[in-house]
Amino acid sequence: MINEVDIHHGQTLEKIIRRNGHSISNIAREINVNRRSVYNWFTQRRLKTEIILNVGKVIDYDFSGDFPELFKPVIFRRLMSDDTIGAEVQFRDSFDKDLIWKDKYLDLLERYNFLLSKQM
């Protein structure tokens, strides 16, 4: 039996996304983040429930079986059917300001590197 603490959220998320053939670019676009953010999620041991819920909505996948410590199947399906991002989840798991700034920095850095490569 797998211990809940042993589950690496990012690796599990990546495995499901790739196994089902979903585009990282499409997921990032639908969630309104850059691709780098999605790749960063894959390296994180623990993810916010809001991130998992949003990815589940985009790829139409019920993560309650993969993350039973975070979601009960009935609640996950109810949140997925909601047009909003799940007010309960947003209240409990608002984005850390550090992560938002980190994502903005990475996006800016990617654009800067792109411009530098075009000038050379």
Is residue 87 a contact partner of residue 54, using CB atoms and an 8 Å limit? no
Per-residue model confidence (pLDDT) at position 88:
41
Instruction: Write the CB contacts of 56 (distance below 8 Å, at least 6 apart in sequence).
Output: 62, 63, 76, 80
Per-residue model confidence (pLDDT) at position 40:
94
Q: Which CATH fold topology does 4-95 show?
A: 434 Repressor (Amino-terminal Domain) (1.10.260)
What's the predicted TM-score (pTM) here? 0.60
What are the residue ranges spanned by the domains of the chain? 4-95
Q: In the 8-state DSSP scheme, what is residue 21? A: T
* Neighbouring C-beta atoms of residue 109, cutoff 10 Å: 11
Per-residue pLDDT tens digits of the chain, which is 120 residues long: 444 457 899 999 999 999 999 999 999 999 999 999 999 999 999 998 889 989 998 998 988 888 888 777 666 666 666 654 444 444 344 445 556 677 778 888 888 888 888 886
